[in-house]
A and B are shown apart, each in its own frame.
Chain A
Amino acid sequence: MLEADTKNYLLTLKPFQYLNSGELDMLVAHSKLVSFAVGDLVLEQGKISEGMYIILEGQALVAARVLGRGIINLASLDKGSFVGEISLIERQPCTATVIASTPLVCLLIATNYFAVLPGFMPEMRYRIMKGIVEAVCVRIRATFAEIRSIMKGSAIIPRLAFVELIKFLSRPKVSPSKRTDINLMQLVHLTPFDIFTEEEFKELLNFTQLIDAPKGAVLVKEKELHSPYYIVLRGAVQATMTQDNKVAKLVVLGPVSLFGSINFIDNIPSAINYAACEHAILLKLDMAGIEALKKSNMLLWYKIFDVICQSIVNVEQAVYKFYLRLNSEHYVGGKNV
């Protein structure tokens, strides 16, 4: 379907950078070449994409209706650009419209095909996800910078430094939990953990630790590298960003949420803190556990990676939502944990 130099070119693109030539051939064999005339919609804002489109020929315009700003042109795309990639990880509506501005030829990797890859090519799926989520992390960091810039001049009430120091010194600590009333296997029936079989999940639990986090306990610090991942079982955890002693709440995560630092993907310090905003019981999966899991069961590791990628896409969504809020509201924050 594609010429050799086109395939070689594809291997330089972020979603495919970790694939080998044979894997790319397999992927292309199950993909579709799609042509668009000038003015045709490739993606429509608010609708769910049917897959990831990679531009092989032609140009497209990206525009979005942004709350409070109307319709804005965001970018012009040409060969090598890709759109709709999030649909391979999470079924979310597109946040922008992509329109062919010249006759356009794209390679479409359908979400339906990508969804069945774990059954026969889990490693290939993992490599594509890795490429995509790295690009997501780049976007998240760009939004961090914009948010921090807005926070500097915002109405968020800064916390007093000495109050913060006292709070820091007296913060409650997490501890191992001895609770026996939580049926951990229930998670297997709940999204996103329903991708695991019961045997796989039991094996995963061997690498986790049940912990008790009192209200106020810090779980992930913004600049900390190699921090653990957690699954909330009871209670709630709050994600915040800080700038000049101003603390802003991004999102609150309740039971069955998985969270951790995005630096798991790119090894660059993150800008998000996670702390228990209610007394919480969590499952902790630390980096040593993740490494041990990788060595012991690669297929299980791919599935965990899947779930982590979904959580990172959710982080992008939460960060973008907060960015919209800062541009829409007079947000003053509050006393935070």
Chain B
Amino acid sequence: MCRVLSYLGTPIPVEELLYFPDNSFIKQSYNPRYMSHLLNLAGFGLMAWDAQSYHPKLPYMYKTDKLPFYDENLKHLAVKIKPSCLLAHLRGVAYSTFNKRTIVSEQNVHPFIFEGSNIGLAHNGSLSRFDEMKPVLFQHIHNEYLTQISGTTDSEWIYALFLSQLTKAEVYTAEAIADALIKTFKVIAKVRKQLSITGTSPINLFISNGKFLAATRYTLDYGWHSMDDKHPEHHTYHSLWYTYGENYGLYDNEYRMKDGAKRSCIIIASEPLTEDTTTWVELPEYTLIIAWQENEQIKIVSKDIVL
């Protein structure tokens, strides 16, 4: 059910996050540590913000529906780009069956970004009975975003809904982002109630515009899946972890965060990039976390999500 990775801080070669750690992001596509049933083979996407690049407010973007571990273009790109902020996504969806089709295409690859915005969003989770929700959800989405939805995912709709709750600004405060996220969840909860939808629906969102990272660990109707579900472990996929430090790189023969006096960078991700998880913090369900840079230090704010 997807893996997401976000980074903010000292510029870092993308390859050091995607390929080098012992639980690297690319490795999570075929061997995720915290998912035992599903692989993440339905697409890879990346947004990377580099202040030294042309149009620095807009990210580099790369999306593919190919398998990322065979993607030579991605490898070459990862060596060259050294962003201060990154948002990457591996799409994991249920495999197609006789009576249920899964569409794998570039349009369905996260993160999403619309014209007129520099905010990207990636999602780990799924909305129960999403197709029934669409006719009601669209009423809450501004036309300028509705017309830009080009794929078939619930994630893109959640993105459009989120942008519709957010008042456009040059600089977004943590409060504004948190407020828009809570409003987004409230709309989704309201529509579900209207349609009597009660199935467990995880909405782990990762959002960035290059200046901040925001992430949620949130599930509507948490715990309301059947124990007869053949893969109950599927419902523990939606974890959220973070680590921070002075620098991320090769230390003591291991790619990890280096401790230091300065808190210069942070990684927020679905699962740790290192096999040693003891220097990562796992956030509990119903949590919203926002991180940004202030005087070259990473600030972190978190709150419980209660609608």
Contact between chains at B278 and A95 (CB < 8 Å): yes
Asked whether A183 lies within 8 Å of B281 as measured between CB atoms, the reply is no
Which of A33-41, A62-70, A137-145 interfaces with chain B? Answer: A62-70
State in angstroms the CA–CA spacing of A249 and B305 once bound together.
11
Task: Evaluate contact between B286 and A252: CB separation under 8 angstroms.
Answer: yes
Contacts of B170 in A (CB 8 A): none
Could you tell me which residues of chain A, from 231 to 279, have a CB within 8 Å of some CB in chain B? 232-236, 238, 249-252, 254-256, 277-278
Task: Given A328-B244, A333-B304, verify A67-B285 contact (CB < 8 Å).
Answer: no
A93 touches B277 (CB 8 A): yes
Let me know if A334 and B305 touch, CB within 8 A: yes
A278 near B277: Cβ-Cβ < 8 Å: no
Asked, given contacts A186-B227, A254-B223, A255-B223, whether A329 binds B284 with beta carbons under 8 Å apart, the answer is no
Measured CB to CB, the nearest residue on chain B to A94 is B278
Number of interface residues of B (CB under 8 A): 39
In chain A between 146 and 194, which residues have their CB closer than 8 angstroms to a CB of chain B?
182-183, 186-187, 190
B contact residues around A329 at 8 Å (CB): 289, 300-302
Query: What are the residues of chain A within 8 A of B287 when measuring CB–CB?
Result: 249
Q: Is the CB of A45 within 8 A of B223?
A: no
Task: Tell me the complex Cα distance, A233–B281, Å.
Answer: 27
A-B contact count (CB 8 A): 116
CB of A187 within 8 A of CB of B227, answer yes
Per a CB cutoff under 8 Å, which of B223, B280, B281, B289 touches A236?
Answer: B223
Question: Is there an interface contact between A183 and B227, defined as CB atoms closer than 8 Å?
Answer: yes
In the complex, chain B residues whose CB is within 8 Å of the CB of A250: 284
A residues contacting the other copy or chain, number (CB 8 A): 49
- Judge whether A45 and B301 touch: CB under 8 Å: no
Judge if B169 is at the interface, Cβ distance under 8 Å.
Answer: no
Please state if A182 and B276 are interface contacts (CB–CB under 8 Å).
no
The reply to whether the CB of B115 lies closer than 8 angstroms to some CB of chain A is no
CB distance from A232 to the nearest CB of B (A): 7
Q: Which of B260, B276, B281, B302 contacts A93 (CB 8 A)?
A: B276
CB of B286 within 8 A of CB of A71, answer no
Beyond A46-B278, A331-B303, A334-B303, is A251–B284 a contact (Cβ under 8 Å)?
Answer: yes
Q: A278–B289 Cα gap in the complex (Å)?
A: 21
Given A46-B276, A67-B243, is A233 in contact with B227 using a C-beta cutoff of 8 Å? yes
Give residues of chain A (46-66) contacting chain B, Cβ–Cβ below 8 Å. 46-47, 64-66
Chain B's closest residue to A71 (CB) is B259
Q: Does B224 contact A (CB under 8 A)?
A: yes
**Residues of B255-301 whose CB lies within 8 A of A:** 259-260, 263, 274-287, 289, 299-301
CB distance from A222 to the nearest CB of B (A): 18
Contact A325/B281 with A332-B302, A332-B303 known, Cβ cut-off 8 Å:
yes
Q: A190-B232, A329-B289 are in contact. Are A278 and B278 (CB under 8 A)?
A: no
Within 8 A of A (CB), among B204-218: none
A325 to B, closest residue via Cβ = B281
Output the nearest chain B residue to A67 by Cβ-Cβ distance. B279
Complex Cα distance, B221 from A234, in Å, reads: 10
List the 4 closest A-B pairs by CB distance, nearest first: A46-B276, A334-B304, A70-B259, A252-B285
A-contacting residues of B (Cβ < 8 Å)? 221-225, 227-228, 232, 235-236, 243-245, 259-260, 263, 274-287, 289, 299-306
24 cross-chain CB contacts under 8 A: A45-B276, A45-B278, A46-B275, A67-B243, A71-B259, A93-B278, A95-B278, A186-B228, A233-B227, A234-B224, A249-B286, A249-B304, A254-B222, A254-B236, A255-B225, A255-B232, A318-B284, A330-B299, A330-B300, A330-B302, A331-B301, A333-B304, A334-B304, A336-B304
Q: Which residues of A contact B (CB under 8 A)?
A: 45-47, 64-71, 93-95, 182-183, 186-187, 190, 232-236, 238, 249-252, 254-256, 277-278, 280, 318, 321, 324-325, 328-337
